[in-house]
Structure 1
């Protein structure tokens, strides 16, 4: 893909996310309107003429105003929201149908206009006149925008919607409506789903409900069938973390209505776009054949929400349920075919999730189309720094080694700064400095966005450690003995065989890293350190982020969830003189790890310090006896 095409894709993703961000906070209002519609209109469950009077004002005024206010607020906080709502009122009155699309346009424009005005007069308003200027400027500019939207935007959007209605009716007449899934399903990953669903399909669907009592258009985007089919395929035929997390994601998607939870699974295997598209086409075709449709939008796109706004009658329920099931079955079968026949290595779920987050953007940058504000990383403040945290997935392997190395450097520098390690999921909200592998940094930033983040590609010999210590010395002159959050004392666990001689293997050969990891895991199982299920967790952890540490060293260990499979702390050292490939990196020393209550940290610290010097790695990789290996580490943990 060319750079120009990539740039266009990014812009579309940001724009789609911006439109989605205007709708999502107001889903509760859509639900309220949908339930009132389903219950009280003449074709509803309990028709009531008085209560049905709420339906039109809510869809004509309440929902567009909420969208317009939210759009303006995204651009320029509350002040932008107020002007955005005023501007939206003009397009509401100037149109003869619900103006969701007009609100998505005028709300952000209102916020942008008042923001530009405030920037022009900044520093020019005399003291005491701020409130007067603020109120009059928002009122005058909002009023002007309302008039413009009444005279031009409202009629323009009405004409566009009328043309779209005609197009949809034509598609229904000739039977090609299912083909809309070719556009709708990929658009979800670009976060254009809410713009399509509520900006285009909902207004047309509302007009159809007035004429026929229901509309199939409410199910074109909201059908959870394509997504649940993909997730179920991962449940049975996925691998590693993707397979482990798919069941939970399936429940959230199908019953919670959060469609975006399956996007990372599609991004891991882009061919799954075809599964989503074919599932969508099949579902819409089934709905068309059986006469399916809803009384109001199903927001969010949950199966329960679909049932709640399904018209009365067994036929309607049969049609809608069939539309969901057929879409799910087709999507599942295509997904299974993709997963079983794909020759490419299964992608990284965490990486795919981060790609999705990059598409979504942060709240502060979601309005990039209208504002230049961007979120910047926190700055390092050496004078107030008291704690540095290394973080990895499980918090017991790579992060422990990195923390050991930096703790040594910090102590040698005479700095009174605590250095500890933990799992990313356990990072405290007040974390000051967080160090992670490059692949995990986006996840750590999401967990603690206010912290200063450092990415390293090599936990054993990163130059960033020395850079950080130098920065800290410049800003912190205090000298005190280095503290540890969890002091490790030699105890019965450590002394009773964390690393007996039987756990050290020389001159091994492996055809793949998976074979090597499974060998290390079996050693831990045979030694009574872990349950057998820990081996699969070691494979899953390496798939999540490579356990290659640099300097020809790898430290395979389980995921955070697998800590329950650890019986006691244990370590195995495996020498592979000819090396084994770890994602393009040659590994000659493998340290298999299982940690229980910190019992492995002392030896892990010794390994980290030893392996930070390539000379020591070379000696261990060529050692002829187990005793030589233990001597190079510098301490013995044999019973």
Structure 2
């Protein structure tokens, strides 16, 4: 039963990572659209009718096509991306709404179809005709899939998207939207944060922002307030390494926008999820009451990025919501931590990490693989930090280890970061979060050593690894 649960969780994480993986690489385009919208629409900071003409085509064509291309590329490289973009054009044309959901469907479908075709004709193309067949097959298949998307898929997706958007609007108008944090906060701790934010909330937010100029959906997952409150509670009432590392984690979480940094603090005391939920609901209530919203998606969830995307009439609501979320989660978290002070079984951060790791490994019927003590500098040529999206926390870990290796005088080792589902096969050592160990094993070279890490600020893990190299 536990193995089935583990596989289910891994499959859900993979699906969520795939969905968010189509959006995350294109966040720069979303931010560009958000800034242009914030500046030049009639209610923007610098209204300009001429430059405002950029807003419509970007959200209608540019963003969905980028998502479709990326989805196809994830399935079958650049060739899959091209066919995925052609297929996406089919759902874009004629649609009355931004077709993000359609792009997330047709992009991978286009890549999958051309991948299967290439496999079917493999080794059957006469010498000298490869380029001709490749180009025409991509064009013909892309055209056919685009026509099917235009005539069959687009009406279905449009109906579904309109229904989903209407339901979201109804829930918001009824004042029930804050309750969504009952699901969002626990899902974040399971490393589904990127899937929720970029796979579900961002498409809903873009659709709403296209009509209203802003959207509350951009704030629901990106709000750093609840995590800030929990880290503040640990800074004052925590114990051991958890208390010592919390102030540094606050900077990375609140200013840097890497929310994964506070997940281990909840995992070591799961009841703290109540503090995160309470903070999230309180913050969302403020957002709803003040009609606050962002112009576009905020990624990463840094307070700086959030303020940059805040609509001109929403600063009070956004700042107030973030502050209220932090205060409520701090108060609830403080009560929980102080109540556990007298608990004889209270453990420090390292002990809690080890306990969680062993429990999870036992439930999966496998022992978590750690760096082999026999590793030497000659054994290790590439070290990869792997997180869900391959951007925030993994990039931070890469930076810290690079500096540690340099300080230790160890050279000749390439240190990179990547998505846990796209680990380079040349990797000798992989650092990843415990919740992602199953996906790392299936993605990585079987010869690689996998090291789990809970707190990316805990340099003792890096020092321990470096000592094995020496």
| More divergent stretch after superposition (289-298 vs 48-57) | 289-298
Q: Tell me the CA shift for residue 43 of structure 1.
A: 0.7
Instruction: State the distance in 2 between where 1:288 and 1:280 align.
Output: 12
Cα distance change, pair 433–11 in 1 and its aligned pair in 2 (3 A): closer
Instruction: State the distance in 2 between where 1:88 and 1:223 align.
Output: 31
Q: Is the 8 A contact 1:87 1:145 kept in 2?
A: yes
Query: Is 1:114 the counterpart of 2:105 in the alignment?
Result: no
Q: Is the 8 A contact 1:272 1:338 kept in 2?
A: yes
* Structure 2 gaps, min length 5: 362-375, 381-404, 416-425, 452-457
Q: Tell me the CA shift for residue 237 of structure 1.
A: 3.3
Aligned twin of 1:132: 132
Aligned twin of 1:258: 258
Aligned twin of 2:324: 326
Q: Is the 8 A contact 1:86 1:142 kept in 2?
A: yes
Q: Tell me the CA shift for residue 89 of structure 1.
A: 1.1
Query: Is 1:18 the counterpart of 2:18 in the alignment?
Result: yes
What secondary structure is seen at the aligned counterpart in 2 of 1:271? Answer: helix
Q: Is the 8 A contact 2:177 2:284 kept in 1?
A: yes
Structure 2 counterparts to residues 72-151 of structure 1, below 5 A: 72-151=72-151
Aligned twin of 1:163: 163
Aligned twin of 1:305: 305
Instruction: State the distance in 1 between where 2:327 and 2:16 align.
Output: 29
Structure 2 counterparts to residues 504-583 of structure 1, below 5 A: 560=463
Structure 2 counterparts to residues 232-311 of structure 1, below 5 A: 232-311=232-311
Aligned twin of 1:182: 182
2:413 to 429, 434, 446: 429
Structure 2 counterparts to residues 328-407 of structure 1, below 5 A: 328-342=326-340, 343=345, 345-346=347-348, 348=350, 387-388=378-379
Aligned twin of 1:619: none
Larger Rg: 1
| More divergent stretch after superposition (221-230 vs 188-197) | 188-197
The structure where helix makes up a greater share of residues is 2
| More divergent stretch after superposition (345-354 vs 179-188) | 345-354
Q: Tell me the CA shift for residue 199 of structure 1.
A: 4.5
Instruction: State the distance in 1 between where 2:153 and 2:409 align.
Output: 47
Q: Tell me the CA shift for residue 267 of structure 1.
A: 2.8
* Structure 1 gaps, min length 5: 359-384, 390-420, 457-539, 546-558, 564-594, 596-600, 602-639
> Could you give the per-residue CA deviations for residues 338-386 of structure 1, whole angstroms, max 9, x where no partner exists?
444454535648769999xx9xxxxxxxxxxxxxxxxxxxxxxxxxx99
Query: Is 1:6 the counterpart of 2:27 in the alignment?
Result: no
Cα distance change, pair 27–212 in 1 and its aligned pair in 2 (3 A): closer
What secondary structure is seen at the aligned counterpart in 2 of 1:387? Answer: coil
> Could you give the per-residue CA deviations for residues 613-637 of structure 1, whole angstroms, max 9, x where no partner exists?
xxxxxxxxxxxxxxxxxxxxxxxxx
Instruction: State the distance in 1 between where 2:450 and 2:312 align.
Output: 57
Q: What RMSD, in angstroms, separates the aligned Cα atoms of the two structures?
A: 4.0
Query: Is 1:47 the counterpart of 2:31 in the alignment?
Result: no
Aligned twin of 2:69: 69
Instruction: State the distance in 1 between where 2:429 and 2:197 align.
Output: 41
Q: Is the 8 A contact 1:231 1:250 kept in 2?
A: yes
What secondary structure is seen at the aligned counterpart in 2 of 1:46? Answer: coil
Cα distance change, pair 267–99 in 1 and its aligned pair in 2 (3 A): farther
| 4+ aligned runs moved over 6 Å, structure 1 | 349-355, 421-425, 430-437
Q: Tell me the CA shift for residue 255 of structure 1.
A: 2.3
Q: Is the 8 A contact 2:241 2:349 kept in 1?
A: no
Instruction: State the distance in 1 between where 2:107 and 2:354 align.
Output: 34
Cα distance change, pair 292–271 in 1 and its aligned pair in 2 (3 A): same
Instruction: State the distance in 1 between where 2:115 and 2:20 align.
Output: 22
Instruction: State the distance in 1 between where 2:430 and 2:34 align.
Output: 46
Cα distance change, pair 433–57 in 1 and its aligned pair in 2 (3 A): closer
TM-score (norm 1): 0.55
Q: Is the 8 A contact 1:94 1:151 kept in 2?
A: no
Aligned twin of 1:479: none
Cα distance change, pair 74–239 in 1 and its aligned pair in 2 (3 A): farther
Q: Is the 8 A contact 1:218 1:296 kept in 2?
A: yes
Q: Is the 8 A contact 1:234 1:246 kept in 2?
A: yes
Q: Tell me the CA shift for residue 131 of structure 1.
A: 0.8
What secondary structure is seen at the aligned counterpart in 2 of 1:319? Answer: helix
> Could you give the per-residue CA deviations for residues 580-618 of structure 1, whole angstroms, max 9, x where no partner exists?
xxxxxxxxxxxxxxx9xxxxx9xxxxxxxxxxxxxxxxx
What secondary structure is seen at the aligned counterpart in 1 of 2:186? Answer: helix
Greater relative contact order (Cα < 8 A, sep 6+)? 2
Q: Is the 8 A contact 1:38 1:44 kept in 2?
A: yes
Q: Is the 8 A contact 1:225 1:279 kept in 2?
A: yes
Instruction: State the distance in 2 between where 1:334 and 1:210 align.
Output: 37
> Could you give the per-residue CA deviations for residues 83-140 of structure 1, whole angstroms, max 9, x where no partner exists?
1111111111242111222212221222222112212221111111111111112112
Cα distance change, pair 240–139 in 1 and its aligned pair in 2 (3 A): farther
Instruction: State the distance in 1 between where 2:449 and 2:210 align.
Output: 58
Query: Is 1:33 the counterpart of 2:33 in the alignment?
Result: yes
Structure 2 counterparts to residues 590-629 of structure 1, below 5 A: none
Q: Tell me the CA shift for residue 450 of structure 1.
A: 7.8
Q: Tell me the CA shift for residue 336 of structure 1.
A: 2.7
Q: Tell me the CA shift for residue 428 of structure 1.
A: 4.4
Instruction: State the distance in 2 between where 1:211 and 1:435 align.
Output: 48
Q: Tell me the CA shift for residue 56 of structure 1.
A: 1.2
